[in-house]
Each structure stands twice: as C-alpha cells, then as structure tokens.
Amino acid sequence: MKAKFQIQDLLGIALTMVVLIIAVAYGLQVTGDVRDDIADDNAGAGCNSTDTTSCGASYNATTDGIEGVSKIPEKLPMIATIVIASIVIGILVNYLWARFR
C-alpha cells in the first residue's frame, strides 16, 4: 500500500491552525472576563487592579491560567514551521526515492 501526499492536504492543516488560533483567542478573552468578574466580586474585600493580594485564590488561578494559555500563541510560529518543514521533507524524500529507485 502506497501513501500519497497531495498539496491539497495542506488545506486541512491550515484550517486546523486557524481554528486553534481562534480557540486560544476566545479562551483568553473568556478567562480574562472571569478574572475581571472575580475582581469585581471581591472589590469590597480590598481587591482592585493595583493591589490584587486580597483577591483570593480564584483570582490568582485565573491569572495563572491566562499566563499558561498565552504561552500557546507564542509557540504557534514554531509549530507551523515544523509542520511545513515536515511536509517539504516528506515531499522531497518521496520525490527523490521515486526518482533514484
């Protein structure tokens, strides 16, 4: 059984990257809104944008969540480069194997 790779297969990879970017962007927006809501709910306890020490564990958890999720978009260019390099290497190996076999 031979596996063939077509350039049209890149469309699926590109759409997956776009969906991932959109999901991460909305995820960050929702997490930021939750963090702001927690700060508003705890405003009476002394929680404000300049002093977040009295905001509690839930505020700290959402802040850490935002920082964690925001690391994903930083890595997307590297992920895209690896995917494209893998495809190019696969095409070259397939071509060279068929040519010099």
pLDDT, residue 6, reads: 67
The pLDDT of residue 49 is above 60: yes
User: So what's the pLDDT on residue 5?
Assistant: 62
- pLDDT tens-digit profile of 16-32? 888 888 888 888 888 88
Q: Which residue has the tokens 């929702």?
A: 30
Average pLDDT over residues 59-79: 84
Q: pLDDT at residue 4 above 70?
A: no
Mapping DSSP onto H, E and C, the string for 54-75 reads CCCHHHHHHHHHHHHHCHHHHH
Q: How confident is the model at residue 42 (pLDDT cuts 50, 70, 90)?
A: confident
